[in-house]
Amino acid sequence: MLATMKELLDLAESKSIGIAAFDTPNLENVIAVIKAAEELDQPVIIMHVQAHEGFMPLTIIGPIMVALAKTASVPVCVHLDHGETLEHVKLALSMGFTSVMYDGSVLPFDENVANTITAVKMAKKYGASVEAEIGVLGVKETADGKGVIQEEVYTDPDEAKRFVDATGIDALACSFGTVHGLYLEEPNLDMSVVENVRKTANIPIVMHGGSGVSDADFIKAIKFGVRKVNYYTYMAKAGGQAVKENILSNPNDDVYFHDLVLLSIEAMKQHVKSMLKVFHKL
């Protein structure tokens, strides 16, 4: 069943959990995430990030995401992740997405505010929720999954409050030491940033760059106010690793793509279930 991000954030706040949000750039990811959520009877957020257009265009995967969310036995929010243009935000909303993220974090503050206000106005026409971001993550997500290194700028609590008050968004992505993709070294997260932004701006915090963070740090972040946890890379890696191990262990067998698809879905589903248990405190 379709749900908005706001509805799931309210649920997360009432239970002091972090709603799991997974990027799903292909059908196999969508199936794995929704099956995992259904087996654990948990709400979930499926997302398409604009940078993944090279994997699968939104025009193809978007309607599939909405259709499968509608028939799911649990609440599913269909969310645009890191929408870098207002045109992409509008496209997602027009095909039934119940939530969008406008990411103007690399823009000057005033320009980010102005564009985010426009995104909020568009979303209201569809009854959809809006996430936005200030501060910059150390690695920007790219279509090749590797990311590009940027100078990290932690979110300033006072600036966050001004941004939230001016835009009326439902959730704020917070930069506090996480990065997209694989961590090259152990992450050093500043939980005081999460705590102070949450208290000052009085808004649910979104944690991007979840793959590779320890369970203990996830639990800490949720304790300090994270209510949505974005996750992708290690889920995708789990599916790829399962296929790799199967082929290497059976080098003389014929390989059929449909078998590999089912194998990857099952591996990703099990990984998603393990993360749902952490984020949702199961």
What is the set of active-site residues? 81
Residue 114: exposure state from Cβ atoms within 10 A (0-12, 13-18, ≥19): middle
Q: Can you tell me whether residue 243 is helix, strand or coil?
A: helix
CA dist., res. 121 & res. 107, Å (int): 19
CA dist., res. 153 & res. 138, Å (int): 8
Residues in contact with 97: Cβ distance below 8 Å, sequence separation at least 6, in sequence order: 62, 65, 66, 78, 79, 80, 128
Residues in the chain: 282
CA dist., res. 37 & res. 29, Å (int): 12
- Tokens of residue 146, six digits: 């590797």
